[in-house]
Structure 1
Amino acid sequence: MYDVWIKMLNKELKYVHDKGYLQRHPKLQPKMRAILLDWVLEVSEVYSLHRQTAYLAQDFFDRYMLTQENVSKDYLQLIGITALFIASKIEEIYPPKIYEFAYVTDGACDMWDIQRTELQILKALDWNLCPETPISWLKLYAQVEARKDEENFLEPQFSQETYIQITQLLDLCMMDITVLDYNYSVLAAAAFCHFSTFDIVHKVSGLTWESVSHCYQWMTPFMETLQSEPKPQLKNFPKVRADDRHNIQTHVAYLDILVKSNTGQLSPVAAGTILTPPSSTEKPPTH
């Protein structure tokens, strides 16, 4: 267990993310990133993709943008859907086909666009595709906190209901580009702390209050807004076992909730002005 922990911490040093990348893209604004990631979560739910897949896509997108300059908003959807395509091939046992990812762009991107962009992203990231996401850390913290000595550590023991509430907080925070100021381990710890106590968070993470407090306070407006929203409910997905439902990415009206949080990072704007959302939540016919 100690060796695993050290490897996860080392990845925090290797996989660098920085919100300052927007300075390299003068035509882009934080709200454009938020709209794109909201759509990525929507597509993830349509195809019953795992939370880890969606969070890998977010990481790939942000790190790729850090390597580029002067990207136009017209290319954001292509980059986002390609990042999700790459992530699904890494994380999913049965990933959707490339034509299915093209389908949900409603004609904005075709398969050749995605294939070309896939190679560009892989080269830019130097094939470094295995970060420990906030979801990775959260699952570890939750499992350590719930573990009983006589039980198999690899079998989840934590409450699915509480887990999906914490992940909803992380989802909302992901929309705000300021999230990139924090290490993923700290993000997961701060979110966990909003549903627990810091004593427990310290026990499962080893982090000090000094290292978590700023992130915890930054999250507070998001948490307060979510408290006025309906609590997330476990959903059933075709071909997904009941004990795996909490791991499937879900989507709610995150952009509306983000505006309510009064963070100043996002102003109300129609999603269609940035990218073309799926025309429906139906999957394309398979052959």
Structure 2
Amino acid sequence: MDSDDELFDKVHDIVIDKAPVPRVWPDVSAERARRYHQEVDEIRETFDDEVDPYDTTMVSEYAEDIFEYMADLEENMMPDANYMAIQSEITWEMRQTLVDWLLQVHLRYHMLPETLWIAVNIVDRFLSKRTVSLLKLQLVGVTAMFIAAKYEEILAPSVDEFVYMTERGYTRDEILKGERIVLQVLEFKVSQYCSPYSWMRKISKADDYDIQTRTLSKFLIEVTLLDHRFLRVKPSLIAAIGMYTSRRMLGGDWNEGFVYHSGFTEEYLLPGHQLLVEKLAEKNFTNMAVCQKYAHKKFLKASLYAIEWSRLHINELAAEQMSLE
């Protein structure tokens, strides 16, 4: 049986020979960033937001302070977007396979949406600090889901159920040891992570919580979990990209209400929108668990619609992006 120290390797044994990727994306000039912020500030000064004091779900009295606090936490809970530079046995494709499997487990056990996001965040932050062999990669994933479920679920699956999830590829003791190691490496910082779902609820106020837009955007933001390029993107921006892409796919616009509630202009969201459409248009992407999940009537067959739209519009979006550069 592996000891705690032997279960995963320590990151300081590896020398990183690649320049780190900037943490926050997109990379824009100081002048363009200033212009973006100015546009948002102008809209926030003039936009008339109708606050419903009786809407207890949005706790309007405290909402502004809550989201300011969440914004302060965002960057601190982001992984190193270039962590594969310290990994010797795993690749981004293997990470995608792991996340796809976590999506299947999450769906199979009917866990809450936040559980999935916390689990993937734990995986990425842990892999940013420890090197892991290919044989132990799934152990990282199942351990992350085990921890996330404890935080979010009312009735979390037992450790024995997690052993069953891996088809007994790992023992009960290995998962419990993995839990100790992961929490120690992350300094027990788990609950501070705020997923895009929280931000999406805020942005949805701009269209009065339209069910089609929200359902489609839920699918779109889950797609970003599979794409390592979005590791550099803050959760608030992922939520905005998902909502913006959903609006475009459904023929809507990104009006002042959306800018006000999201904090992002349309021009700022276009690069992320392009990445998302590229991912959806990939060959065989329909085989991913997230696509099969959202192809169900319960989710308005959102994945089928989004993939078809992406394949029809990807070329014109590339031209649109080039015109902005």
TM-score (norm 1): 0.73
Q: CA deviation at 1:141?
A: 1.8
Return the match for 2:259 from 202, 218, 238: 202
- What are the equivalent positions in structure 2 for 1:43-122 lying under 5 Å apart? 43-69=105-131, 71-122=132-183
Structure 1 runs of 4+ off > 4 angstroms? Answer: 223-227
Aligned-residue RMSD, C-alpha = 3.0
Structure having the larger proportion of residues in helix: 2
In the alignment, what sits opposite 1:2?
64
Return the match for 1:40 from 102, 105, 130: 102
Q: Which has the larger radius of gyration?
A: 2
SS of 1:109's partner is coil
Is 1:126 equivalent to 2:183 in the alignment? no
Return the match for 1:29 from 78, 91, 94: 91
Structure 1 alignment gaps of length 5 or more: 148-157, 236-244, 247-251, 264-287
Return the match for 1:221 from 259, 262, 278: 278
Q: CA deviation at 1:165?
A: 1.8
Whether the 8 Å contact between 2:78 and 2:231 is mirrored in structure 1 is no
In the alignment, what sits opposite 1:212?
269
- What is the alpha-carbon distance in structure 2 between the residues aligned to residue 110 and residue 26 of structure 1? 25
Q: CA deviation at 1:15?
A: 1.1
SS of 2:169's partner is coil
In the alignment, what sits opposite 2:234?
183
Q: CA deviation at 1:139?
A: 2.5
Count of aligned pairs between the two proteins: 232
- What is the alpha-carbon distance in structure 1 between the residues aligned to residue 212 and residue 273 of structure 2? 21
Q: CA deviation at 1:159?
A: 3.8
- What is the alpha-carbon distance in structure 1 between the residues aligned to residue 211 and residue 100 of structure 2? 23
Describe the shift of the 1:81–1:211 C-alpha distance in structure 2 as closer, same or farther (beyond 3 A): same
Describe the shift of the 1:198–1:224 C-alpha distance in structure 2 as closer, same or farther (beyond 3 A): farther
Describe the shift of the 1:82–1:63 C-alpha distance in structure 2 as closer, same or farther (beyond 3 A): same
In the alignment, what sits opposite 2:29?
none
Whether the 8 Å contact between 1:165 and 1:232 is mirrored in structure 2 is no
Deviations 1:253-278 (CA, angstroms, capped at 9, x unpaired): 9xx99xx99x9xxxxxxxxxxxxxxx
Deviations 1:16-61 (CA, angstroms, capped at 9, x unpaired): 2222000010211111000000000100111100111001100000
Whether the 8 Å contact between 1:64 and 1:125 is mirrored in structure 2 is yes
Whether the 8 Å contact between 2:213 and 2:243 is mirrored in structure 1 is no
Q: CA deviation at 1:162?
A: 3.4
- What is the alpha-carbon distance in structure 1 between the residues aligned to residue 176 and residue 231 of structure 2? 27
In the alignment, what sits opposite 1:192?
243
Structure 2 alignment gaps of length 5 or more: 1-62, 248-252, 315-325
SS of 1:175's partner is coil
Give the fraction of aligned pairs with identical amino acids, expressed as a percent: 25
Deviations 1:153-195 (CA, angstroms, capped at 9, x unpaired): xxxxx24443232121222221111110211111110110012
Q: What code does the residue aligned with 2:114 have?
A: Q
Q: What code does the residue aligned with 1:13 have?
A: E
Q: What code does the residue aligned with 1:190 have?
A: I
In the alignment, what sits opposite 1:165?
216
Describe the shift of the 1:233–1:163 C-alpha distance in structure 2 as closer, same or farther (beyond 3 A): farther
Q: What code does the residue aligned with 2:222 have?
A: D
Return the match for 1:19 from 59, 81, 84: 81
Q: CA deviation at 1:145?
A: 2.2
Whether the 8 Å contact between 1:57 and 1:84 is mirrored in structure 2 is yes
Deviations 1:125-160 (CA, angstroms, capped at 9, x unpaired): 111112111222222322x2245xxxxxxxxxx244
- What is the alpha-carbon distance in structure 2 between the residues aligned to residue 234 and residue 87 of structure 1? 28
Q: CA deviation at 1:124?
A: 0.8
Q: What code does the residue aligned with 2:235 have?
A: Y
Describe the shift of the 1:224–1:198 C-alpha distance in structure 2 as closer, same or farther (beyond 3 A): farther
Q: What code does the residue aligned with 1:207 have?
A: F
Q: Which structure's relative contact order is higher, taking Cα pairs within 8 Å and 6+ residues apart?
A: 1
Q: CA deviation at 1:210?
A: 4.8
Describe the shift of the 1:104–1:5 C-alpha distance in structure 2 as closer, same or farther (beyond 3 A): same
